[in-house]
Amino acid sequence: MGSEHLSYEEAKLVEFEVKKYLKFGLVGAITAAIYFSVLALHLEIIRLNYNIAVSIAYTVSVIFQFLANKYFTFESRTKNIAHQFSKFLVLLIVNYLLTILIVRYVVETLGFSPYIGVIASIPLIVVTGFLLSRYWIYTGDTSIANLTPPLTTLRRGGEGEGGNISTTPEKKL
% helix / strand / coil in the chain, to the nearest 5?
A: 70, 5, 25
**What pLDDT, on a 0 to 100 scale, did the predictor assign at position 2?**
52
Per-10-residue mean pLDDT of the chain, 173 residues long, equals 74 85 92 96 96 94 89 85 88 93 97 95 89 83 46 42 41 40
Supply the Cα-derived Rg of the chain in whole angstroms: 20
> Do the Cβ atoms of 93 and 142 come closer than 8 Å?
no
**What pLDDT, on a 0 to 100 scale, did the predictor assign at position 10?**
85
**What pLDDT, on a 0 to 100 scale, did the predictor assign at position 29?**
93
**Separation CA 70–CA 151 (nearest Å):** 20
Instruction: Strands of the chain (E only): list them.
Output: 152-155, 164-169
35 CB neighbour count, 10 Å cutoff: 23
Strand, helix or coil at 155? strand
**What pLDDT, on a 0 to 100 scale, did the predictor assign at position 18?**
84
C-alpha to C-alpha distances, 130 to 22, 56, 153, nearest whole angstrom: 11, 22, 24
**What pLDDT, on a 0 to 100 scale, did the predictor assign at position 51?**
95
**What pLDDT, on a 0 to 100 scale, did the predictor assign at position 17?**
81
Torsion angle in degrees (nearest 10) through CA of 30, 36, 42, 48: 130
| pTM of the model as a whole | 0.62
